[in-house]
Amino acid sequence: MEILKVTPRGYCYGVVDAITLAKRVASDPNVPRPIYVLGQIVHNRHVVNQLEALGIITLDGTVRIQLLDQVPSGATVIFTAHGVSPAVKEAALRRGLHVYDATCPDVTRTHDLIQEKIAQGRFVLYIGTPGHPEPEGAMGEAPTDRIALVASRAEAAEIAVPDGMPIAVMTQTTLSQWDTRAIIDVIRERFPAAEIYNEICMATQSRQEAAVKAAAEVDLVIVVGDRRSNNSNRLVEVVQVVGEKRAIRVESAEDLNPEWFHQVSKVAVTSGSSTPTEITRAVIKQIGEWATVTNHTKSMPPL
Backbone angles phi, psi at 8, to 5 degrees: -80, 155
Residue of 116, 134, 209, 237 marked active site: 134
Three-state secondary-structure class, residue 199:
coil
Q: Residue 212 CB: number of other CB atoms within 10 A?
A: 21
Q: Minimal distance in Å, beta carbon 217 to ligand SF4?
A: 25
Nearer to ligand SF4, 174 or 275 (CB): 174
Close Cβ partners of 302 (under 8 Å, ≥ 6 residues apart): 258
Instruction: Tell me the site size for ligand SF4, rule CB under 6 A.
Output: 15
Nearer to ligand SF4, 76 or 173 (CB): 173
Residue 107: which of 47, 51, 172, 42 has the closest Cα? 172
Residues numbered 79-118 forming contacts with ligand SF4, rule: CB under 6 A: 81, 104, 106-107
In the shown chain, the binding pattern of residues 4 to 43 toward ligand SF4, with x for contact by CB under 6 A and - for none, equals --------xxxx----------------------------
Backbone angles phi, psi at 191, to 5 degrees: -130, 80
Residue 44 found at the interface with ligand SF4 (CB under 6 A): no
- Residue type at 106 in one-letter notation: D
Close Cβ partners of 160 (under 8 Å, ≥ 6 residues apart): none
Q: Minimal distance in Å, beta carbon 27 to ligand SF4?
A: 22
Nearer to ligand SF4, 15 or 35 (CB): 15
* Residue 259 annotated among the catalytic residues of the structure: no
Helix-then-strand count for the chain, H and E: 11, 12
Beta-carbon-side half-sphere exposure of residue 27 (alpha carbons within 13 Å): 6
Residue 203 found at the interface with ligand SF4 (CB under 6 A): yes
Residue 176 found at the interface with ligand SF4 (CB under 6 A): no
Residues numbered 244-273 forming contacts with ligand SF4, rule: CB under 6 A: 273
Residue 199 found at the interface with ligand SF4 (CB under 6 A): no
Alpha-carbon gap, residue 230 to 14, rounded angstroms: 15
* Residue whose beta carbon is closest to ligand SF4: 14
Alpha-carbon gap, residue 67 to 63, rounded angstroms: 7
Which residue numbers are catalytic?
Answer: 134
Residues that bind ligand SF4 in the complex, under the rule CB under 6 A? 12-15, 81, 104, 106-107, 173-174, 201, 203-204, 231, 273
